[in-house]
Amino acid sequence: MHLSLASLAKPILYGYFRSSCSWRVRIAFALKGIEYDQVPVNLIQDGGQQHTKQFESVNPMKQVPAVKIDGITLCQSLAVIQYIDETRPGPRLLPADPKTRAQVRMISDLIASGIQPVQNLSVLQKKGSEKEQWAQHFINQGFQALEPILKQTAGKYCVGDEISMADTCLVPQVYNAERFKVDLEQFPTIKRLNQTLLEMEAFKVSHPSRQPDTPPELLA
């Protein structure tokens, strides 16, 4: 009964409007049509609200996102996405076919583990005035690997013609690339996929420019 009651409650997303990891989860919720509540965690204000004792009790890693759902708390965006894919109806974000599913996981991990962490806020804060060059270098390096992979796997979306977890990872990473002035013309497949995905409502409503904690000057 406890789990049944917990499953009736809206999930709660602890996130930050410009966090790419939080955005992945917002996209997945939108694709699945899942209503949820947001608790903003400002990663900059007051030295970073993720470092407060209150948030540490939610996520000991002091990172966003964290999601309270079905009576449990999950941190790590891909774990959240895979959980809601396994427990909620709607479009499958992990394909049934093992080979295709492996490709989706490969691309997701390449972005979430291989590219994004080295240009995360906590890393960039250590680089000071060199942060833009640092981010450009590692995003370029990652995209040079991702582009030929996507040339092989992509159809309309990252893997074939069905939306997947890989797409939820790609768009936030391209947003970061644009922030750090990476030249996307050298990555035509990545650019094409990103443009296609941004036309979808799930990617529009979850965009950093449309969140409750988006600063007024960045609202769309």
* Residue ranges of the chain assigned to CATH 1.20.1050.10: 98-204
pLDDT for 51 equals 93
Tens digits of residue pLDDT in 38-80: 999 999 998 899 999 999 999 999 999 999 999 999 999 999 9
What average pLDDT does range 69-94 have in this prediction?
97
| Tens digits of residue pLDDT in 184-201 | 999 999 999 999 999 999
Q: What's the average model confidence in pLDDT over 105-116?
A: 96
What is the maximum span of the chain, computed from C-alpha positions, in angstroms? 54
* Rounded CA separation 142/177 (Å): 11
pLDDT at 119 over 80: no
Cβ pair 23, 208 in contact under 8 A: yes
Q: Which CATH number fits domain 98-204: 1.20.1050.10, 3.20.20.80, 3.40.50.300, 3.10.450.630?
A: 1.20.1050.10
For the stretch 4-32, pLDDT in tens is 556 678 999 999 999 999 999 999 999 99
Res. 81 pLDDT band, cuts 50 70 90 = very high
Res 112 pLDDT > 90? yes
Read out DSSP for 23-69?
HHHHHHHHHHT---EEEE--SSGGG-GGGSHHHHTT-TT--S-EEEE
Supply the pTM of this predicted model: 0.94
Does residue 81 or residue 134 have the better pLDDT? Answer: 81
Q: How far are the Cα atoms of 119, 145, 173 from residue 136, in angstroms, in the given order?
A: 9, 14, 12
Phi, psi of 171 (to 5 degrees): -60, -45
User: At residue 2, does pLDDT exceed 60?
Assistant: no
pLDDT at 1: 39
Single-letter amino acid code for the residue at 16: Y
Q: What is the mean pLDDT of residues 155-178?
A: 98
Contact 93, 165 (CB under 8 A): yes
Task: Specify whether the CB–CB gap between 65 and 19 falls below 8 A.
Answer: yes
As its CATH architecture, domain 2-91 has 3-Layer(aba) Sandwich (3.40)
| pLDDT for position 5 | 55
Contacts of 169 (CB under 8 A, 6+ apart): 24, 78, 107, 108, 111, 112
| 132 — pLDDT class (breaks 50, 70, 90) | confident
Distance CA 209, CA 52 (A): 25
Contact between 103 and 91 (Cβ < 8 Å): no
Signed CA dihedral, 94, 149, 146, 191: sign only = negative
The amino acid occupying position 66 is A
Question: 102: how many CB neighbours lie within 10 A of its CB?
Answer: 13
Instruction: Measure CA 140 to chain center.
Output: 19
Where in the chain do CATH 3.40.30.10 domains reside?
A: 2-91
